[in-house]
A and B are shown apart, each in its own frame.
Chain A
Amino acid sequence: MQAPKLMSIVIPLFNEEESVGRLVERIQEISPKFECKWELLLVDDGSTDGTWETIVELKGELPELRGIKFRTNRGQTAAMVAGFDLSRGDVIITLDGDLQNDPSDIPALLKKMSEGYDIVSGWRRDRQDHWSRVFPSRVANWLISKSTGVKLHDYGCSLKAYRTECIRSIQAYGEMHRFFPALASMTGARVAEIVVDHHPRQFGSSKYGFSRVLKVFSDIFAINLIIRFSTKPLKGFIYLALPFGAMAAGFWLLASIAWLSSWSDGKSAFFAVIAMLSLFGVVSLGALGVLAELAVITSDLSHTRLERIAVRVSRYCSRGRGGEI
């Protein structure tokens, strides 16, 4: 695969005025190793300190630098998406703005991408964070890998390389940035992982707390649902209704046996009530499934199709020589 003509480095920043100058310096030091043209997009995600002012100052020293300032804090995913939307490169590199990711890993990401991958993710094998962040992160990584089938050691590492058209096709929102590789698998993207350096945080404090753990687990469930059932939601709801269906059948049977065998007063009616409640569960989950299916049917179904460029068709002639169509 040919090297990119232009590489965009997208860095979301929130109250990182102390680290942004050093970060830009590091990127400038490493830039001779990029082997392609590059641009740097710094996205100020509604910072309340002097981050944007620092970016404006740095612009004077670095012509490759471009800046985006949000009106208000919208989160890391929104900042990355803005960078993806407004970048000009055919490859996009993302990394954190707190100097924990090392820009010197960028050439290694590009080298791996040249082997034919669409997304190359960094793996912080030697992570420099407190165990209270590392442990839930490891559990989340295992869960995401297991449930989505896209096996990565470190979904949370912001240092990643993307083919531009691949990442734009995802149309991310909310806090999806952790799941880009898993979501990209829906479009047929090829994902790889390489070990990258990780440094302890030098300035400021982490913007994440314990509440993020609960949110991430909720998002894992939602992402799984989207990946598995966004094109066939009725099936998902029917699977959810199956246990209630089994309960309804079981308790109807019990109620029938109780009535036929004249068990003690009220038992038959009691079992019938439980059976009806379970049946209510089946019917309402089924109705929700139909509603979800209706939502998919009435959409433009764009999310159900692989991107046209995601499929390359090869035809082999009778003598075994292949050629692309």
Chain B
Amino acid sequence: MSLWSAIVIVEDELNDFLHDLEVITDVFASLKCRCELVVVANGVGKFVEHEFEAVGDLVSTVTLVELSQKATFATCMGAALDTTDAQALLVTGSYQKISRESMLDLIQSLDAPTDLVVPRRCNRVDPGVNQLQSSFFNTVVRVITKTPFHDLNCNVRAVRRKVLEELELYGDMYRFLPILALERGFRVREIDCEHHQEHGKVGFMGYREYAARLIDIALLFFRSGHSRKPLRFFGAKGVLFAGAGVFVLAAVSFGRVAGQTALGNNPWVILGLMLILLGVQISGIGLVGEILVFTYGRHKKDYIIEETLGGITASDTVRVPEDQTFGAELHLP
């Protein structure tokens, strides 16, 4: 029997909390899989402790990780990962989002070649306005990242440990775990799952939430293609703006020479100069980015090895004897 770990990240104080834990242990019992339960109390430590004490005899042994203040999902994941050695993980949130049968399917779908299984909630039970917003968000992300995922908002995932260890999630990046995993060459599957229940805001989510999602999308876009060569991204835009500024100033100058326009008090001169400034600023930011990557990011490997042949190991490096030097000779008087 393989060892699984079910990581339940609790952020809300909901009545069905213990029942949902029972469902998870029941699912693993029916699959005859060993499963250790890790509950991460994300700012709701007192609630979880109270629930466990009230029950008296828990369904199974639970590791409780209490975070004293609310942290991101990625931080909670990291804290939970430190407490378990399981190589396969089921990650869920505060309540059961997908049906018991779908949870079974999710776990069973993490078979040999697959590294991450994500659900796509069908027959949704949340209000139409929420579904519309979710659909719009997922569509925008699919277009920008050219990935096939339809339901990034569902935080239930079945994942291999190596995926989480390699990806180094931070901030709000847990939502985009399937995209980041696909980018790194992991095998990701999306399966249809029955939507069970949904708690949370209805309708308008708040300006901060929308702004946060927009920023996440922009970050994804930047990360996926430009994080190693920022000058290409910023430089291209900078050249565009500066070029437009030069064009405007050239046109105004030409008009002045031809006697058609005056330079003094001409707002086009200011516009041209501002465009050049903007272009130089944007390019300058790209240059700083390039220096940052060169200074701090050179040691990070761009490659991910899947398989080797011929006995290659990580320690396969050669030490060059000290007398085989290279470089400039320095002659001292």
| A interface residues (Cβ-Cβ under 8 A, vs B) | 1-2, 6, 46, 52, 55-56, 59, 65-72, 74-75, 77-79, 81-82, 85-90, 118, 163-166, 168, 171-175, 187-190, 215, 218-219, 221-222, 225-226, 229-230, 233, 236-237, 240, 244, 264, 266-267, 270, 273-274, 277-278, 280-281, 284-285, 288, 291-292, 295-296, 299, 303, 306-307, 309-316, 322
CA distance A274 to B272 in the complex (A): 11
Task: Tell me how many residues of B have a C-beta within 8 Å of chain A.
Answer: 61
Judged by a CB distance under 8 angstroms, whether B146 is at the interface is no
* Other-chain contact of B296, A59, A175, A226, A295 (Cβ < 8 Å): A295
CB pair B309–A56 under 8 Å, yes or no, is yes
Contacts of A164 in B (CB 8 A): 318, 320
Contact A90-B309, Cβ < 8 Å, known A75-B302, A82-B303: no
User: Does B291 lie within 8 Å of A281, measured CB to CB?
Assistant: no
By beta carbon, the residue of chain A nearest B318 is: A88
Sample of 10 more A-B contacts, CB < 8 Å, known A56-B309, A266-B264, A295-B292:
A59-B310, A67-B308, A69-B308, A88-B316, A90-B324, A168-B317, A233-B287, A244-B280, A267-B265, A306-B328
Per-residue CB proximity of B313-331 to A under 8 Å, as 1/0?
0001110101011111111
**How far does the Cβ of B1 sit from chain A's closest Cβ, in whole Å?**
28
**Which candidate, B100-108, B123-131, B229-237, is the interface stretch facing chain A?**
B229-237
Please report the number of residue pairs spanning A and B whose Cβ atoms sit closer than 8 angstroms.
225
Contact yes or no, A79 B235, CB < 8 A: no
Which 7 pairs show the lowest CB-CB distances between chains A and B?
A: A310-B327, A66-B310, A71-B185, A188-B327, A72-B185, A67-B309, A78-B302
Q: B247-279, CB under 8 A of A: which get 1 and which 0? A: 000000000000000001100011001100100
Asked if B264 and A270 make an inter-chain contact with CB atoms under 8 angstroms apart, the answer reads yes
A residues near B185, Cβ cutoff 8 Å? 46, 70-72
Do residues B306 and A70 form an inter-chain contact, with CB atoms below 8 A? yes
Q: A65: which of B303, B307, B309, B326 is its contact (CB, 8 Å)?
A: B309
Contacts of A277 in B (CB 8 A): 270, 273-274, 277
**Chain B residues positioned under 8 Å from A166 (CB to CB):** 326
CA distance A165 to B307 in the complex (A): 25
Q: How far is the CA of A249 from the CA of B285 in the complex (A)?
A: 25
- With CB as the reference atom, state the residue of chain A lying closest to B232: A218
Give the docked Cα–Cα distance between A292 and B183 (Å): 29
Q: Is A292 a contact of B287 with CB atoms below 8 Å?
A: yes
Tell me the minimal C-beta distance from B183 to chain A in angstroms: 8
Whether A118 contacts B309 in the complex (CB less than 8 A), given A219-B229, A225-B291, A285-B280, comes out as no
**A274:B305 contact, CB within 8 angstroms:** no
Question: Of B284, B292, B306, which is within 8 A of A285 by CB?
Answer: B284
Does the CB pair B310–A65 fall under 8 Å? yes
Q: Are B316 and A71 in contact (CB under 8 A)?
A: no
Q: Which residues of A contact B274 (CB under 8 A)?
A: 277
Chain B residues with Cβ below 8 Å from A280 are: 277
Given contact pairs A55-B309, A87-B318, A309-B327, A218 touches B303 in the complex (Cβ within 8 A): no
Are A225 and B290 touching (Cβ within 8 A)? yes
Q: List 29 A-B contacts (CB under 8 A).
A: A6-B318, A59-B309, A66-B310, A68-B305, A70-B303, A70-B304, A72-B183, A74-B304, A82-B305, A86-B316, A86-B317, A118-B326, A218-B229, A218-B231, A225-B290, A230-B295, A233-B288, A236-B287, A277-B274, A281-B280, A291-B288, A295-B292, A296-B295, A306-B328, A309-B325, A309-B327, A311-B327, A314-B329, A315-B332
Chain B residues contacting A273 (CB-CB under 8 Å) are 270
User: In the complex, A75 Cα to B228 Cα: how many Å?
Assistant: 12
Most buried by B among A215, A222, A273: A222
Contact in complex: B229, A72 (CB < 8 Å):
no
Given contacts A72-B185, A295-B295, contact A66 B331 (CB under 8 A): no
Could you tell me the distance between the alpha carbons of A323 and B161 in the complex, rounded to whole angstroms? 57
- Once A218-B236, A222-B290, A296-B295 are accepted as A-B contacts, the answer to whether A79 and B303 lie under 8 Å apart by CB is yes
Q: Does B206 contact A (CB under 8 A)?
A: no
Q: Is B301 an interface residue (CB 8 A)?
A: yes
